[in-house]
Amino acid sequence: MSNAKIELNQDASSEASKTLFTLDREVFFIELSKIMKELLAEKNVLIYEALDEGASKLVANSGKIQKNAPILEKGNGLSGYVIRTKRAYYSNNVSRDPLLATIKYPENIVCELCVPVEIGGSVFATVNIQSSNSERKFSQEDVSKVTDILKKFERPITNMKMYLSAKQLNETLLKKIEKKEEELERKLNSTKTSMRRIEEKEMIGKSEVIRKMLELVNKIADANSNILIEGASGTGKELVAQKIHLKSKRADGPYVVVNCGAIPETLIESELFGHEKGSFTGAIAEKQGLVEMANGGTLFLDEVGELSPNMQTKLLRFLQEGEAYRVGSSTPYNVNVRVISATNRDLKKEVEEGRIREDLFYRLNTIKVNVPALRERGEDIKILAEYFLNFQKEPMEHKTLTVSAINVLMNYSWPGNIRELQNVMERAYILSDGRFIDETHLPDCSCQIIEEEGPAEDLWQEMTLELLEKKHIIRTLEHLSGNKTKTAKTLGITVKTLYNKLHSYGMIQSRDSLS
């Protein structure tokens, strides 16, 4: 580089800028290194691109692209140091400079200057000038000259930085979308696999409430009406939905499950109704929605009460018109599906409190099936307990419940319903060494009979089942020293359900509850 001041006239600046106005990354870096080489009158001008997390890579050398250069980890090399500090650095004796001791230079290189290409407070690249002239001495004046030239090309450099940032963001989003699609595909395949085995599943019980519910299921199975299944967590609502599908004329068609509470708000419309190519960032191809996949069969909307107001409106339009719109499309498509939805909430109460649209409620609630809680099926507790105790066990491995164990089970309120009973039986089988299960093998914190403190004549109190459940949950939580994970596991319910119940009791703040 000449020690004379560099004067870059307007015409030369304009002509050089034109070659940098490109969105081709390789062409841009080739031209940048070529321009810097010509304007600085130096033989070796290298361009390092700043990568993620402080890494860097040599991309161009004196007008030639460098495709196979290794990636330098954060802070490595002179460019890594300059990217990290955002300050220029020069050395007039690279072989004796402690900062450059780990860098392997060609034998003829004696000095190097490195200047950051900084845009918007972040380093986009570095310009490195290497010299083999032992009389060449870099100075702060050289730093200023390189900086002045870069300022004249600020606009095309900024454009390329913005383009590469947008491209990187797009690639990141694409990876996230692909990952999410793979997860949904696995869920759908899992659902289909489950449906092939569903005929083996039976709803066990002989109580009057379960008998009447099954009679209703058989009666409505062939109808095309929408069905709403209500019941507490762990009562078997999805099993009821599957049973309705298998007994219907749509049994040979698809059965698609949509867990409305598990899919993020930003994705559920696309997952449910599909999207067109280019409808949003990352929509690289047309995508069929779960509604289309269910065509000719049954669409099961689990946890339908978790839908946002915006999605409630779109679901209502679909139920009213029998047609749907993919995201990014103004052309509707028609599908022939039967909608079965399920919830552990009281949707009528949700309507009264303004959380669920009234018109959507009536569309979903053409026929309602109430799945009874286990405490309402007293006659079935012994049958179910014995079934779960020896489930998938060889006859020689079967165990038997003692009378005392049965009494404990019969007198428990079962807030976690069938799921809790199944967990208790699985645990009891593991804990017992012999062939019999007695009350000592049942967890004290969940299988004790709930009693009120006070005189014997005041043990019984008139209370609702809801209040009884609340008291038991609170006592279980206290017994386990406030450990919510253990409490949920003991009760046979999810941690989310426990948090929601504690929030409804006013025991935790709303921000701590899991929506």
430: left (phi over 0), alpha (psi -120 to 50) or beta: alpha
Q: Quick one: pLDDT at residue 193?
A: 42
Mean pLDDT for 379-392 is: 92
pTM over 0.75: no
Do the beta carbons of residue 422 and residue 387 sit within 8 Å?
A: no
* Secondary structure (3-state) at 121: coil
Nearest to 416 by CA among 368, 352, 488, 361: 488
Which of these ranges, 19-33, 306-320, 448-462, has the smallest mean pLDDT? 448-462
Rounded CA-CA distance 295/487 in Å is 41
Q: Quick one: pLDDT at residue 446?
A: 46
Rounded CA-CA distance 280/331 in Å is 17
Q: Quick one: pLDDT at residue 164?
A: 85
Q: Quick one: pLDDT at residue 473?
A: 87
Rounded CA-CA distance 227/141 in Å is 80
Mean pLDDT for 93-97 is: 91
Q: Are strands 287-288 and 274-275 parallel, antiparallel or unpaired?
A: antiparallel
Rounded CA-CA distance 461/454 in Å is 11
Kind and range of the H or E run holding 512: none
Rounded CA-CA distance 339/241 in Å is 10
Do the beta carbons of residue 384 and residue 376 sit within 8 Å?
A: no
* CA distances to 68, 277, 487, 504 from 511, in Å: 51, 38, 20, 12
For the beta carbon of residue 470, count every other beta carbon within 10 angstroms.
Answer: 18
Q: Quick one: pLDDT at residue 10?
A: 45
pLDDT tens by residue, 256-281? 999 988 888 878 888 888 877 766 66
Do the beta carbons of residue 117 and residue 126 sit within 8 Å?
A: yes
Kindly calculate the radius of gyration of the chain based on its CA atoms and give it in whole angstroms: 35
Nearest to 91 by CA among 56, 131, 63, 59: 131
What contacts 221, CB < 8 A, 6 or more positions away? 243, 244, 247, 248
List domains and CATH numbers for the chain.
10-167 (3.30.450.40), 201-370 (3.40.50.300), 374-512 (1.10.8.60)
Cα dihedral 339→342→348→349 (10° resolution): -150
Nearest to 415 by CA among 389, 444, 376, 383: 376
* CA distances to 49, 121, 167, 184 from 163, in Å: 14, 17, 6, 31
Rounded CA-CA distance 388/421 in Å is 8
CB-neighbour burial class of residue 159 (10 A; exposed 0-12, middle 13-18, buried 19+): middle
Nearest to 369 by CA among 182, 463, 242, 237: 237
Residues β-bridged to residue 339: 299
Rounded CA-CA distance 342/299 in Å is 11
Which of these ranges, 186-200, 292-306, 337-351, has the smallest mean pLDDT? 186-200
Backbone CA torsion sign across 116, 117, 123, 127: negative
Taking 60 as the threshold, does the pLDDT of residue 413 lie above it?
Answer: yes
Q: Quick one: pLDDT at residue 278?
A: 64
Rounded CA-CA distance 90/97 in Å is 10
Taking 90 as the threshold, does the pLDDT of residue 361 lie above it?
Answer: yes
Q: Quick one: pLDDT at residue 101?
A: 87
Distance between first and last Cα of the chain = 65
Tell me the three-class secondary structure of 351-380, residue by residue.
HHCCCCCHHHHHHHCCEEEECCCHHHCHHH
Which of these ranges, 17-26, 148-157, 417-426, has the smallest mean pLDDT? 17-26
Nearest to 177 by CA among 337, 327, 300: 327
Taking 90 as the threshold, does the pLDDT of residue 365 lie above it?
Answer: yes
Taking 60 as the threshold, does the pLDDT of residue 406 lie above it?
Answer: yes
- Amino acid at the residue 150: L
What contacts 141, CB < 8 A, 6 or more positions away? 3
Q: Quick one: pLDDT at residue 194?
A: 41
Taking 70 as the threshold, does the pLDDT of residue 52 lie above it?
Answer: yes
Q: Quick one: pLDDT at residue 424?
A: 92
Do the beta carbons of residue 383 and residue 206 sit within 8 Å?
A: yes
Rounded CA-CA distance 248/225 in Å is 11
Q: Quick one: pLDDT at residue 332?
A: 85
* Secondary structure (3-state) at 49: strand
